[in-house]
Amino acid sequence: MATATASTSVRDTGIGALLRHRAVGKLLLLAVAAAILIPIVNAKWASGAWPDALTVDLTEPLGKTTDWIIDNRDSHPLFVYFLGNISNGIVLSIRGVYLVLLAAGWAGVSVGAALVAWRVAGVRLAVLAGASFGLCGLLGMWVPTMQTLALMIVAVLVSVVLGMLLGLAGGLSDRVFRILRPVLDTMQVLPAFSYLLPVALVFGIGVPAAVIATVVYAAPPMARLTALGLRGADGGVMEAVTSLGTTARQRLLSARLPLARKELLLGLNQTIMMALGMAVIASMIGGAGLGDRVYQALGSVDVGAALAAGIPIVLLAVVLDRVTGAAGERLGANTQDNSPLRGRRGWSVAAAVTVVAALAARFADRLEWPESWIVNIAEPVNTAKEWMVDHIYTDVPVVGGTADWAAHFTTWVLDPIRDGLQGLPWWSVLLIIAALAWLIGTWQTALTAVLAMAATGVLGVWKPSLDTLAQVLAAVAVTVVIGFAVGIAAARSTRLEALLRPVLDVFQTMPQFVYLIPVVALFGIGRAPAVAAAIVYALPAVIRITTQGLRQVNGAAMESSRSLGATNWQQLRQVQLPLARPALLLAVNQAVVLILAVVVIGGLVGGGALGYEAVFGLAQGDLATGLVAGTAIVCLGLMLDRVTQPTERRTKKGA
């Protein structure tokens, strides 16, 4: 997991003081504006919740759009000549990749993966790659793993090409970059859940829709990092190259792109991670493969089966992440490569050995993964789950059971926050958002946040949006408290950090759907399990960013404070935490974005609110409910992102 890096710029007290002055100024200005506007607004639409006069009912036009699409999908030129070809191209290319993978057999694929890993990243990762594929087979998931891999390969390729084209345009032209940046910013705060429905409606349920949804989700980091890499090219080198009389194209190919290799690889890494994250969610619209297995397991309350399909996803993610990450590091280090697989010869050796392995398996009639080699983990896992449910669900002496906690959390935390938010007059909610966003950012971010929140009212989903917001706020509070505590501990102990790393890896890459069954088993249905799943999902990112932020605090500042006799606690409170403030803010921001993404999936376990409406829309093919909920989720995401956005933030979703 390439974690987001935080800037460690140190603000001196002068700027800090000025900032405080500016904060007061902003608040004063806002108060004046409010004093003028609120009486007018209140006189016109005096109501607590969002006024009906300011809503737009989209039921009819959206219903008509649905009908039009369904009736014209098999005849209209737009579908037949354009979208149909895209869809067809996707089906054909995935089929091609899939057939190659099947033809190579498990032996060919495992050996090939190990050799490629060896060639680009060294022996250790070769072993990891080979073993991981073996494990996928052992779990009885070989065929679904290959289906997912085929889908991933195509989706990642398309994302990379699309991302690079966008990134090239943005990297070479300032104007395109200015237009592109807010678009990419926005795309990255969209929860994937919100655009499944429109994609499925246009492309129909199935693999093409799943690929398109994945590409929309995974292309932005590639575009952003390509543009960043190109723009960051060393001025001196560029001048030197220009002075040699090169053409623009030669400059691009011989200097700019090679100089941006690190960013390009990081972009590839991020794109792969996001695509894998989407694999399971896309199964809701027919993505097949491992995701579908997890989804079906969810349908029959089978944690064991969900885990058996979830582990290969984690393994794929870890292998791909480590290999691309290691390849990126190698690019930077200019060490002598002594491995037997170096250079072009290395590639041909790898290819030849792979073919031999595949043929050997074929002649031994072992092309498919042997049934007798499958280890069934579903049963023991389910037994363990049953034990947990039987023993800690309720009435545990003194501490109470998990179900009791969930009930208390709902009544004492979630209900008051929700009722409080829904009880506030609508204009005061907007005012609070404006104040928060302006304090932390610029007037533009404040405006975006307010408009985004207002949009949920206009769409007629003000109340469910506030319900979702309440769940997000409660989850963020818990996540930040635990995340900061663990992050601080990890920053002070290398051993703890090393211990945590694999755990965080697993939790970060395990598909969110896998969490949903255990949390229902432990917390019952309702909003509490949705919040619990979101906390589990967002914690790793918060811990990582916190640890990294604290670690990067200027060593000199730490030294000098220690020499002044500061205790550990003083040092933490007065030096480390204030200096790491940008990183901590970033952690909060990431927590908010990640939590929203899971809280809405919580619609599947009784989370209600916007998530339920999105699920309902998806399940009933009801664009009017689903698309409105999806749009509201997007607006909520935008608003939350802007309210928590550190002024200078350049990172990506998913950490």
Partner 1 sequence: MRVISAATAGCALLALSGCASDMTKQASPYANAEGAKTVTLSVQSWVGAQADVAVAEYLLKHELGYRVDKVQIDEVPAWDALSQGRVDAIMEDWGHPDQEQRYIKDKKTIVPGGDVGVTGHIGWYVPTYFAKKHPDVTNWKNLNKYAKDFRTSESGSKGQLMDGSPSYVTNDKALVKNLGLDYEVVFAGSEAAQITQIEQFAKQQKPFLTYWYKPQWLFKKVPMTEVKLPEYKEGCDADPAKIKCAYPHTPLQKYFNADFAKKGGDAAEFLKNFKWSEEDQNEVSLMIADKKMSPEDAAKAWVAGHESKWRGWLPK
Contact set for partner 1, span 206-265 (CB under 8 A): 206-208, 248-249
| 252/259 with CB nearer partner 1 | 252
**What CA–CA distance (Å, rounded) separates 418 from 425?**
13
Per the CB < 8 A criterion, the answer to whether 456 and 462 are in contact is yes
Residue 79, interface with partner 1 (CB under 8 A)? yes
Does position 205 interact with partner 1 (CB under 8 A)? The reply is yes
**Complete DSSP assignment for 564-613:** TT--HHHIIIIIIHHHTHHHHHHHHHHHHHHHHHHHHHGGGGT--HHHHH
Rg of the chain (C-alpha set): 26
Supply the minimum distance, in Å, between the C-beta of residue 141 and partner 1: 13
- Binding letters toward partner 1, positions 614-633, x by CB under 8 A: -xx-xxxxx-----------
Under the criterion CB under 8 A, does residue 92 sit at the interface with partner 1?
Answer: yes
100 binds partner 1 (CB under 8 A): no
Could you say whether residue 65 binds partner 1 (CB under 8 A)?
A: no
Closest contact distance (angstroms) between CB of 461 and partner 1 is: 16
Residue span binding partner 1 (CB under 8 A) among the ranges 13-21, 45-53, 92-100, 460-468 = 92-100
The verdict on 400 binding partner 1 (CB under 8 A) reads no
Which tokens in the block code for residue 241? 């190259």
In the complex, minimum distance from the CB of residue 400 to partner 1, in angstroms, rounded to a whole number? 13
Q: Scan for tokens 């995974």, then name that residue.
A: 218
- Burial of 647 by CB count in 10 Å (0-12 exposed, 13-18 middle, 19+ buried)? exposed
What is the C-alpha to C-alpha distance for residues 221 and 111, in angstroms, rounded to an integer? 30
Among 3, 132, 147, 468, binds partner 1 (CB under 8 A): 147
Residue 396 touching partner 1 (CB under 8 A): no
Q: Is 83 in the site for partner 1 (CB under 8 A)?
A: yes
- 475 to 514: interface string for partner 1, x by CB under 8 A: ----------------------------------------
Q: Which stretch binds partner 1 (CB under 8 A): 72-80, 214-222, 421-429, 534-542?
A: 72-80
Q: CB of 250: closest distance to partner 1 in angstroms?
A: 11
The H or E element that residue 462 is part of is helix 462-492
Residue 280 in the binding site for partner 1 (CB under 8 A): no
Taking CB under 8 A as the criterion, which residues in 303-322 touch partner 1? 304
Closer residue to partner 1, CB minimum distance, 298 or 655: 298
Rounded alpha-carbon distances, angstroms, from residue 89 to 86, 93, 155, 218, 276: 5, 6, 12, 19, 21
Among 68, 82, 387, 443, binds partner 1 (CB under 8 A): 82
Distance CA 610, CA 629 (A): 5
Neighbours of 239 (CB within 10 A): 10
Q: How far is the CB of 544 from partner 1 (least distance, A)?
A: 30
Q: Which of 320, 327, 604, 627 binds partner 1 (CB under 8 A)?
A: 604
**Under rule CB under 8 A, residue 163 binds partner 1:** no
- Among residues 1, 58, 98, 457, the one that binds partner 1 under rule CB under 8 A: 98
By beta-carbon proximity to partner 1, the closer residue of 149 and 476 is 149
Q: Is 602 in the site for partner 1 (CB under 8 A)?
A: yes
Provide the strand spans (E) within 268-338.
none
Residue 471 near partner 1 by CB under 8 A = no
Q: 7, 382, 561, 570: which one contacts partner 1 (CB under 8 A)?
A: 382
Residue 231, Cβ neighbours under 10 Å: how many? 16
| Beta carbon nearer to partner 1, 87 or 576 | 87
Q: Could you write out the three-class secondary structure of 602-632?
A: HHHHCCCHHHHHHHHHHHHCCHHHHHHHHHH
Residues binding partner 1: what is the number (CB under 8 A)?
A: 87
Q: By CB under 8 A, which span of 185-193, 292-300, 336-344, 532-540 interacts with partner 1?
A: 292-300
Q: Are 645 and 653 in contact (CB under 8 A)?
A: no
DSSP 8-state assignment for residue 194:
G
145 counts as binding partner 1 under rule CB under 8 A: no
Q: Is 389 in the site for partner 1 (CB under 8 A)?
A: yes
Any alpha helices (H) in 122-206, and if so which ranges?
Answer: 123-138, 142-172, 174-189, 196-203
84 is a site residue for partner 1 (CB under 8 A) = yes
What CA–CA distance (Å, rounded) separates 461 from 173? 40
* CA-closest candidate to residue 264, choices 310, 332, 215: 332
Query: Using the rule CB under 8 A, which residue among 220, 603, 630, 654 binds partner 1?
Result: 603
Q: In this structure, what token pair is assigned to residue 297? A: 């397991």
CA 536 remoteness from chain centre: 14
Residue spans of alpha helices (H) in 493-580: 494-509, 512-523, 527-551, 555-563, 568-570, 577-579
Nearest partner of 497 among 489, 509, 505, judged by Cα: 489
Which is nearer to partner 1, 41 or 172 (by Cβ)? Answer: 172
Q: Smallest gap, in angstroms, from Cβ of residue 74 to partner 1?
A: 4
Binding part of the chain for partner 1, among 93-101, 121-129, 267-275, 568-576 by CB under 8 A, reads 93-101
150 is a contact residue toward partner 1 (CB under 8 A): yes
Binding mask 515-554 for partner 1 (x = CB under 8 A): -xx--xx--xxxxx--------------------------
Q: Among residues 292 and 497, whose Cβ is nearest to partner 1?
A: 292
Question: Residue for token digits 């007065």?
Answer: 574
- State the first-to-last Cα distance of the chain, in angstroms, to the nearest integer: 7
Q: How far is the CB of 582 from partner 1 (least distance, A)?
A: 38
